[in-house]
């Protein structure tokens, strides 16, 4: 027996709500507005998602991701070698630069997803954006995922996602040379001189090449040897 259009619409609405909860959470009113649903429809769907553990409602009435959603995310990421291999590179970048480092992937044609992050060890630093999405158009991450780079193998742009924040990104390539992800460093503009941008960019590009090599991209190793020789 095939699904009815009404059943399909219900599933689509529930998924839209789940995405809104996973992105940033919120109250019933906020989530209904985000998913373009009436409060009554959103309330019924959220109640079902809460019942099955995909969403959690706290005492203040705000909704966030539930245990079941986190289990699915952990199971999915645990099977992704890129996620596991990126950890030491992000930790090293955060330690070397003192800024927040991320692994990001294309969410779709229009958005970029921050998949993993390591916070700046400094008292004042940019937040870890794991789970957040940003526009692909006009951002450093979007550009490098599309293969647009500066001469050092990285791209740095200021104020494209948040004011007074510099984003430095470099692409990660898979075995066939395809761009599969990117490493990103976020730093406050006030303490990031042009000299530091260049230094940080070289570090980001180097770790992106090393991670590419770990994924089986031999060209990444050749590029690094050529750079050292030069």
Give residue-wise pLDDT tens across range 11-57: 999 999 998 898 788 999 999 999 999 999 999 999 999 999 999 99
For residue range 54-104, list pLDDT tens digits in order: 999 999 999 998 888 877 877 777 678 899 999 999 999 999 999 999 999
For residue range 215-225, list pLDDT tens digits in order: 998 776 444 44
Task: Determine the pLDDT at residue 70.
Answer: 79
Task: Determine the pLDDT at residue 48.
Answer: 95
For residue range 107-124, list pLDDT tens digits in order: 889 999 899 999 999 988
The model's pTM: 0.76
Tokens encoding 171:
């692409």
Q: At CA 114, angle to CA 110 and CA 117, rounded to 5?
A: 165
Task: Determine the pLDDT at residue 4.
Answer: 58
Higher model confidence: residue 4 or residue 122? 122
Higher model confidence: residue 2 or residue 12? 12
Q: Residue 143 region, left (φ>0) first, then alpha (ψ -120 to 50), else beta?
A: alpha
Task: Determine the pLDDT at residue 116.
Answer: 93
Task: Determine the pLDDT at residue 61.
Answer: 93
Q: How far apart are CA 229 and CA 40, in angstroms?
A: 65
Adjacency order of strands within the sheet including 179-188? 133-135, 111-118, 100-106, 179-188, 165-173, 155-158
- Chain CA centroid to CA 35, Å: 21
For residue range 155-195, list pLDDT tens digits in order: 999 998 889 999 999 999 999 999 999 999 999 999 999 99
Read off the pLDDT band of 2 (50, 70, 90). low
Task: Determine the pLDDT at residue 230.
Answer: 37
Contact 184, 118 (CB under 8 A): no
Read off the pLDDT band of 229 (50, 70, 90). very low
Task: Determine the pLDDT at residue 3.
Answer: 53
Read off the pLDDT band of 5 (50, 70, 90). confident
**Domains in the chain: ranges and CATH:** 5-72 (1.10.10.10), 80-229 (3.30.450.40)
């Amino acid at each position: 027996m095939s699904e009815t259009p009404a059943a399909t619409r219900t599933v689509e609405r529930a998924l839209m709500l789940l995405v809104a909860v996973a992105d940033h959470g919120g109250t019933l009113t906020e989530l209904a507005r985000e998913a373009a649903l009436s409060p009554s429809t959103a309330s019924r769907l959220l109640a079902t998602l809460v019942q099955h553990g995909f969403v959690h409602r706290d005492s203040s009435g705000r909704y966030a991701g539930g245990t079941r959603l986190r289990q699915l995310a952990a199971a999915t990421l645990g099977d992704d070698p890129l996620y596991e291999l990126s950890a030491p590179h992000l930790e090293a970048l955060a330690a070397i630069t003192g800024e927040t480092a991320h692994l990001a992937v294309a969410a779709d044609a229009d958005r970029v997803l921050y998949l993993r992050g390591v916070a700046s060890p400094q008292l004042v630093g940019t937040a870890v954006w794991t789970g957040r999405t940003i526009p692909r158009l006009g951002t450093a991450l979007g550009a490098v995922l599309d293969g647009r780079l500066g001469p050092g193998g990285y791209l740095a742009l200021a104020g494209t996602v948040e004011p007074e924040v510099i984003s430095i990104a470099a692409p990660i390539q898979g075995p066939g040379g395809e761009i599969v992800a990117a490493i990103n460093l976020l730093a406050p503009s006030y303490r990031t001189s042009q000299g530091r941008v260049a230094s940080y960019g070289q570090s980001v590009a180097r770790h992106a090449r090393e991670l590419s090599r770990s994924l089986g991209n031999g060209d990444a190793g050749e590029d690094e040897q050529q750079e050292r020789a030069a």
